[in-house]
A = this chain, B = another copy of it.
């Protein structure tokens, strides 16, 4: 373990995170008549009492001002068939075009959400906390939907992919 320069550490961190396989989420919200959606993996549950999640959002993203203004948001957990949506909302498309694929709808608070996601966590925005380039926003869940099937879309080593199960290792 040689001492790392800040620049080396940053590059190594990015390489190390390629090993950190996670389910892909799309964060969605609306603000001043505009819809926003962004793929994200820096998402975690925080507490089940009250039911809370967190999302880490770069302050340079298009969705940031909406979240920073306190917009309610939805965390849409993608299923294995939604890699196109992951790519669209991950930088392939911009603005309204991000809503061109997928069964998008609005909830009663006019928050856009993906009807056919594996799960939707509808969140009150409890505010952000700045750490370096990002803000950590806390979302207190006020409603959620889910599919029966357990079939997440993973992001690992720069690729979107389903979990493949060996036939003798199916999920219970």
A contact set with B: CB distance below 8 Å: 1, 3-4, 6, 9-10, 12-23, 41-52, 54, 56, 77, 107-108, 118-119, 121, 129, 131-134, 136, 138, 141-147, 150-152, 154, 156-159, 161, 163-166, 169, 171-172
In the complex, which residue of chain B has the Cβ closest to the Cβ of A40?
B44
In Å, the complex CA distance between A160 and B9 comes to 29
Number of this chain's copies in the assembly equals 2
* Assembly CA distance A17 to B158 (angstroms): 23
**Shortest beta-carbon distance from A171 to chain B in Å:** 5
Complex Cα–Cα for A106 and B157 (A):
29
In the complex, which residues of chain B have a beta carbon less than 8 angstroms from the beta carbon of A46? 42, 56, 131-132, 134, 136
Q: Are A1 and B152 in contact (CB under 8 A)?
A: no
Question: With contacts A19-B77, A43-B44 known, is A10 near B51, CB below 8 A?
Answer: yes
Q: A138-B131, A145-B1 are in contact. Are A48 and B171 (CB under 8 A)?
A: no
A56 and B45 contact, CB distance less than 8 A: yes
B163 pairs with A154, CB closer than 8 A: yes
Q: Which of B4, B51, B77, B132 contacts A9 (CB 8 A)?
A: B51
Q: Which of B129, B145, B156, B166 contacts A171 (CB 8 A)?
A: B156
Are B143's CB and A4's CB within 8 A? Answer: yes
